């Protein structure tokens, strides 16, 4: 029975470690010491690998997910509050990464990708139906462990997956050993209730629970070496699939963390009007909140508050840069220390217009933070911004403000970008306006000219994408299917890749056998910024469709609507 197996005492012995997780983590954060990171990978690798194997069936997906977990660790090491609880943190990250990988695999299958189907893991259970049931219960168990209240999950991870005694777990969590016993008992009750509610029979669930909680996982040497290399190399050097999983997971973690702040901030705003909520983040626990006076527009003639930049206005006038989180006027900002750099995750309602984060030092000098990865969910957008510590270290940031571009600012910037692009003779897509002619001249990665005037009489689909963009990659099989179906009727596809390295784009194109030409946005940062501004392509995926006369007819069509509209355009004479 599940109850009886889960009620067994936690393992009573554990191998002593020469250095604690907290010390190794601190060494890696401070010095980027490869040996410290290697010890962490080898110490926690079996637990992470176990989660990945239980959640995923394809061996390649398991390896990618495993490496992605430790890439997330390397990227977020400085923000982990309590190093002694690293095992619990890694377990949660492993579950998130594996879940994203499983979802991506399912979406590709649903879109009838032509890539090789995932091969199931071999099983020692001879009955196929029994094997499927076992796999389902193994996944369910990790799902339910992940849903446990934080304190109960910590106890399960430390005592079972990390093989700690109750005394050792109590020392790590800062509670009496008796409390650990109580938490384990409550966790077992909750897991048993969840398994029963899911309709899992005792014969199957009991065997799987015993297997999962007692299994000894050997970490393959080659996989460990790969994970260490990927983690030390960082996001920029990681393979596209692993980097994509890691970036998506980091963004999701930020979104989940800030959603708590959003709920609390909205409550405070409702109760107290326009306020600023200053939240001190405390690891995985709920943040504590203090209310400070709201930021206000400076009175006329006040020189203490610097004016916004030309073409911009203060959406949020500068507030204290030392807070962990502030929330006001429907926006929430989470401030973090990223290896000495100021990192700000800004959450705001979708449709708020273009925003940017500005830091001020104590003398009022301004420093713009560089925008990074982000996304949106349920009407809330979340984007990360980072300030180069060489320009202004986190410790010297006095105030943080948010500027919003004005309509006049948009016009001036667009005109300047187009003039500069013309001066440099850059091949850039024109700004898209549906119903107007869309004339362009580009060169693909082989140096061949692609001109709109040569494509008259064809229906042209321009796919703006990147290998690091999950939704972009997910729709490629469907685009390929449309191309193969309609190419003979006059459909042409042009890929415009926003990848920084042509090698990564080529690997994806080759893996998916994409038959259409690819154009690479220039990788130089200033030129790329100019390209985006002049073209108006500031978010991907972006699909543009031209009719046979070269008129832009579609901007943002996807899935069934895209196929329906393409069919209509191809049928028109």
Tokens read off for 436: 């107007």
Give the angle 36-39-43 at the CA atoms, nearest 5°: 145
pLDDT band of residue 8 (cuts 50, 70, 90) is very low
524 within domain boundaries: yes
Any domain includes 247:
no
Q: Are residues 391 and 430 in the same domain?
A: no
170 with 135, same domain? yes
pLDDT tens-digit readout, 110-130? 544 333 333 333 333 334 444
Asked if 59 and 124 sit in the same domain, the reply is yes
**What is the rounded distance in angstroms from the CA atom of residue 57 to the CA atom of residue 95?**
14
Tell me: do 194 and 273 sit in the same domain.
no
In this prediction, residue 455 carries a pLDDT of 94
Q: How far apart are CA 488 and CA 478, in angstroms?
A: 17
Distances (CA, A) of 485 to 174, 389, 546, 563, 570: 63, 52, 18, 10, 12
HEC profile of 305-339: CCCCCCCEEEEEEEEECCCCEEEECCEEEEEEEEC
pLDDT mean across residues, the chain: 78
Taking only the tens place, the pLDDT of each residue in 371-383 is 876 666 667 777 8
> Lowest-pLDDT range, 134-143, 211-220, 258-267, 313-322?
258-267
Of residues 150, 193, 189, 194, the one with CA closest to residue 173 = 150
Q: Which two tokens stand for residue 223?
A: 């996989």
Split at pLDDT 50, 70, 90, the class of 516 is very high
Domain housing 22: 2-238
Q: Is 55 in the same domain as 197?
A: yes
Q: Structure tokens of 245?
A: 């999983």
Strand-pairing partners, residue 377, are 380
Q: Are residues 119 and 220 in the same domain?
A: yes
User: Based on the structure, what is the number of domains in the chain?
Assistant: 3
Instruction: Let me know if residue 495 belongs to a domain.
Output: yes
Would you tell me how many other CB atoms lie within 10 Å of the CB of residue 491? Answer: 21
Query: What predicted TM-score, i.e. pTM, was given to this entire model?
Result: 0.49
């Amino acid at each position: 029975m599940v109850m009886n197996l889960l009620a067994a005492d936690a393992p009573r012995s554990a191998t002593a470690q020469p250095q604690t997780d907290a010390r190794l983590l601190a060494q890696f954060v401070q010095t980027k010491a490869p040996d410290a990171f290697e010890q962490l990978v080898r110490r926690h690798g079996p637990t992470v690998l176990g989660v990945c194997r239980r959640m995923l069936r394809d061996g390649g997906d398991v390896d990618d997910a495993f490496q992605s977990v430790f890439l997330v660790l390397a990227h977020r090491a400085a923000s982990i509050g309590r190093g002694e609880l690293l095992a619990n943190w890694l377990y949660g990250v492993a579950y998130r990464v594996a879940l994203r990988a499983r979802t991506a695999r399912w979406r590709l299958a649903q879109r009838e990708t032509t890539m090789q189907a995932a091969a199931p893991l071999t099983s020692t259970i001879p009955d196929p139906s029994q094997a499927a049931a076992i796999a389902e219960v193994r996944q369910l168990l990790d799902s339910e462990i992940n849903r446990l209240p934080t304190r109960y999950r910590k106890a399960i991870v430390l005592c079972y997956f990390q093989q700690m005694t109750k005394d050792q777990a109590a020392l790590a969590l800062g509670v009496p050993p008796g409390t650990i016993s109580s938490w384990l008992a409550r966790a077992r009750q909750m897991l048993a209730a969840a398994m029963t509610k899911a309709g899992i029979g005792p014969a199957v669930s009991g065997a799987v629970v015993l297997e999962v909680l007692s299994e000894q996982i050997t970490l393959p040497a080659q996989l460990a070496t790969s994970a260490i290399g990927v983690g030390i190399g960082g996001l920029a050097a990681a393979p596209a699939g692993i980097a994509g999983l890691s970036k998506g997971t980091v963004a999701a973690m930020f979104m989940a963390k800030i959603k708590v702040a959003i709920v609390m901030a909205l409550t405070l705003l409702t109760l107290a009007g326009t306020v600023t909520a200053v939240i001190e983040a405390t690891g995985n626990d709920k943040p504590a909140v203090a209310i400070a006076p709201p930021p206000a527009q400076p009175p006329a003639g006040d020189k203490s508050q610097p004016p916004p930049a030309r073409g911009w206005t203060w959406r949020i006038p500068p507030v204290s840069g030392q807070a962990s989180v502030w929330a006001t006027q429907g926006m929430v900002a989470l401030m973090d220390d990223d290896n000495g750099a100021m990192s700000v995750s800004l959450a705001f309602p979708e449709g708020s217009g273009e925003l940017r984060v500005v830091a001020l030092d104590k003398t009022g000098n301004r420093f713009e933070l560089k925008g990074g990865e982000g996304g949106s969910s349920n009407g809330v957008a979340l984007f990360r911004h980072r300030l180069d510590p060489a320009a202004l270290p986190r410790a010297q940031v006095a105030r943080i403000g948010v500027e919003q571009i004005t309509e006049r600012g948009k016009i001036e910037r667009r005109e300047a970008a187009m003039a500069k692009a013309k001066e440099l003779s850059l091949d850039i897509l024109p700004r898209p306006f549906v119903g107007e002619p869309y004339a362009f001249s580009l060169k693909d990665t082989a140096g061949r000219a692609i001109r709109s005037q040569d494509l008259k009489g064809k229906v042209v689909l321009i796919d703006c994408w990147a290998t690091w963009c999950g939704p972009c990659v997910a729709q490629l099989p469907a685009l390929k299917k449309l191309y193969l179906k309609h190419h003979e009727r006059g459909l042409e596809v042009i890929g415009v890749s926003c990848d920084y390295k042509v090698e990564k784009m080529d690997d994806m194109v080759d893996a998916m056998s994409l038959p259409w030409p690819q154009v690479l946005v220039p990788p130089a940062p200033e030129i790329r910024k100019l390209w985006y501004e002049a073209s108006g392509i500031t978010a991907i995926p972006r699909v543009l469709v031209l009719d046979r006369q070269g008129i832009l007819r579609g901007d943002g069509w996807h899935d069934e609507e895209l196929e329906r509209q393409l069919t209509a355009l191809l049928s028109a004479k």
